[in-house]
Structure 1
């Protein structure tokens, strides 16, 4: 009997200790995880996947236009991304040939490419033009782009002494073979699809692209030196603080933002649903922990900073740091996405709620991620917003240029 009492006592002690450890672990886990409070959440259409295509520019800008249609009272519309891709590819080829193969010809692009197509040809729905051949469920443009580029090189290398009169028709036939024929004949596009623009209240001329770099004067229109700006469209250059204020103000006032930026940074983790620029808060460490941190190798420090386990201190990004990243090609126009709202982590740090185009099943948050303000300060290349989202002083400056 005495032995049984001892066993029961030991089991009770073990249970209490185990339970306390489990509670501590759970509390620690809850403390470490990112916990976000959404402060502003603007309407957006469902997440799509660009799959194996370099068409993030079309997916991001199309998503942005769809949100604008909702904001303008036209309701939710599922627009065709591949309609914009097909028609932009035609303009890109024409420019490539005119420049004797010396202009950029790649699958990438910018938000204004979608607006340029809408301006000339309007838009159509996904149902009208899915851009997929029968039986296909996802986009894969690796062969398409190689065939298109090879065709153009053959046109340029022709030894006949002049360009063929039918190369554009042949080029268009390749596009229509891979993406499907356009829903209406191209020469009728202006008449039919422009009506959809007027009915919706959408006007591509109501939108402006902004950037912020020191090698150009502020409050001027600039030709931003990024390869995917193959049309040489102009961006309005403003100070970094104003650019950040414009993004935040737009999202707080019911607008969304089409974002172009760098996602090659170590702090970008779509899988973990965050993009961050962490910095060790050594000031808050006691002497022994600070000493341990300083003894770590650079590799171990990076591994510690980029665990993506909990929010921490973020780097303070100056315009000069941002400029250096751009000049050294550390920050390039990798990817376009769609900012739809604002969230705060448990430390009060602001993040931009970001709709990606890698599919709803690409991470645990339905294809969305949260981009920290510091990350955006460093890695934003340019944005597109509605002119009404601009503060009055900036709207006046742009109108006077």
Structure 2
């Protein structure tokens, strides 16, 4: 499958979402039947609509779920507060790097964590980010304007940067997303964004990013080499088997995970299923191999990817993961939230995923991602450090 690496978040998180919303899914109604094994409480599914801000929705979705885990009341945190600060920081770093940095709508879980630690957070009601005549997020114009702005700044036609460029950039964000709240009242108490974040009762130093690739040593940390990791946030590196242990240990002990994944695969449907089908003819179901051998590759793949019933899936290895990352087959597309485990009618394990594409889908905004898909296509996860098995945490040097 041809991959587009640059501006992947903007394309997958935004423009393909437009098509998904405006065109009805013509695939056959699936016959997958799922039984829930473990399901954690989460806040309602939201809709990023036509914006490339999945990283903010999924990152905050993790912290909203963490509050529920701790028995605290449900909260609705402002994604656009995080987006505003991240866009502003990204613009400054882009200019300092003379344009030698990715500048797009994309981001990472590190951005969400950085904003919470350094700027705080506000409720969604205080900053919905819809100051431009829409009732849903539509960032095409905003993204085009901010990108053109920073490119004009680094062209530096005056031979010296002005003292006004950053104020002008933030003025654009003010116009589209709204001015940042500095002080507000909630339930009879006064807060700043920083004091409100502190009032939530979460220790943001307890959250870590994990990944699994062989081009860096295991049990150390490195910055994932992807365009949207512009903050150069680091992830702990684990062998695949221990990486997957974290998923199950987390969910079984009440911890949700922010999940960064490649969703540009044919196996990631727009109607709630993410699978990793085996496409070798000798592994396909049915004893009559001639029916596969006598059709074109396109016909065979079209039949496999109808996704109207469970299929045999690829047995993922560490080498296969690495190959996909190295050759651009696995790309950094989309952020979501994993919050449960289910099984299909054949006993195959799936992870329950909260997406941010609204509820106009078969499972009302929830996806079921097979273990094989998650093993091969996960870029990284962010999770509370106590969700990691004790022996694995010790190897990583996390206390």
Contact 2:284 2:312 in 1 (8 A): no
Contact 2:314 2:372 in 1 (8 A): yes
1:356 corresponds in structure 2 to: 355
Q: Residues of 1 paired with 2:112 and 2:364: CA distance? A: 25
Q: Residues of 2 paired with 1:135 and 1:214: CA distance? A: 48
- In terms of fraction of residues, the more helix-rich structure is 1
Cα deviation, residue 163, structure 1: 1.2
1:113 corresponds in structure 2 to: 111
Q: Residues of 1 paired with 2:70 and 2:393: CA distance? A: 20
Change (3 A) 1:364 1:400: closer
1:343 corresponds in structure 2 to: 342
Change (3 A) 1:306 1:241: same
Q: Residues of 2 paired with 1:96 and 1:51: CA distance? A: 26
Select 1:99's aligned residue among 80, 97, 100. Answer: 97
1:58 corresponds in structure 2 to: 56
Q: Residues of 2 paired with 1:235 and 1:126: CA distance? A: 29
2:186 corresponds in structure 1 to: none
Contact 1:72 1:201 in 2 (8 A): no
SS at match of 1:127: helix
Change (3 A) 1:134 1:90: closer
CA deviations 1:196-215 (Å, max 9, x no partner) are 23322112211000000111
Cα deviation, residue 316, structure 1: 0.5
Change (3 A) 1:377 1:400: closer
1:373 corresponds in structure 2 to: 371
SS at match of 1:340: strand
TM-score (norm 2): 0.87
Cα deviation, residue 279, structure 1: 2.1
Select 2:123's aligned residue among 102, 125, 128. Answer: 125
TM-score (norm 1): 0.87
**What 5-or-longer segments of structure 1 have no aligned partner?**
1-28, 186-190
Cα deviation, residue 125, structure 1: 0.5
Question: Is 1:304 aligned to 2:303, yes or no?
Answer: yes
Change (3 A) 1:50 1:284: closer
Question: Is 1:324 aligned to 2:323, yes or no?
Answer: yes
Contact 2:278 2:312 in 1 (8 A): yes
Q: Residues of 2 paired with 1:286 and 1:161: CA distance? A: 70
Contact 2:55 2:107 in 1 (8 A): yes
Cα deviation, residue 349, structure 1: 0.4
Contact 2:84 2:177 in 1 (8 A): yes
Contact 2:278 2:284 in 1 (8 A): no
Q: Residues of 1 paired with 2:56 and 2:337: CA distance? A: 11
Question: Is 1:208 aligned to 2:208, yes or no?
Answer: yes
SS at match of 2:68: helix
Contact 1:197 1:203 in 2 (8 A): no
1:267 corresponds in structure 2 to: 267
Contact 2:76 2:123 in 1 (8 A): yes
SS at match of 1:85: helix
Change (3 A) 1:307 1:198: same
Cα deviation, residue 161, structure 1: 2.5
Q: Residues of 1 paired with 2:237 and 2:178: CA distance? A: 39
Change (3 A) 1:236 1:285: closer
**What 5-or-longer segments of structure 2 have no aligned partner?**
1-27, 184-190
Cα deviation, residue 195, structure 1: 2.1
Select 1:40's aligned residue among 38, 41, 49. Answer: 38
Q: Residues of 1 paired with 2:298 and 2:162: CA distance? A: 57
Q: Residues of 1 paired with 2:103 and 2:67: CA distance? A: 31
Q: Residues of 2 paired with 1:242 and 1:283: CA distance? A: 27
The residue correspondences of 1:2-401 to structure 2 (distance < 5 A) are 33-133=31-131, 135-184=133-182, 192-271=192-271, 273-279=272-278, 282=282, 287=287, 289-361=288-360, 363-399=361-397
Contact 1:342 1:350 in 2 (8 A): yes
Cα deviation, residue 290, structure 1: 2.1
Contact 1:72 1:200 in 2 (8 A): no
Contact 1:322 1:379 in 2 (8 A): yes
2:6 corresponds in structure 1 to: none
Cα deviation, residue 384, structure 1: 0.5
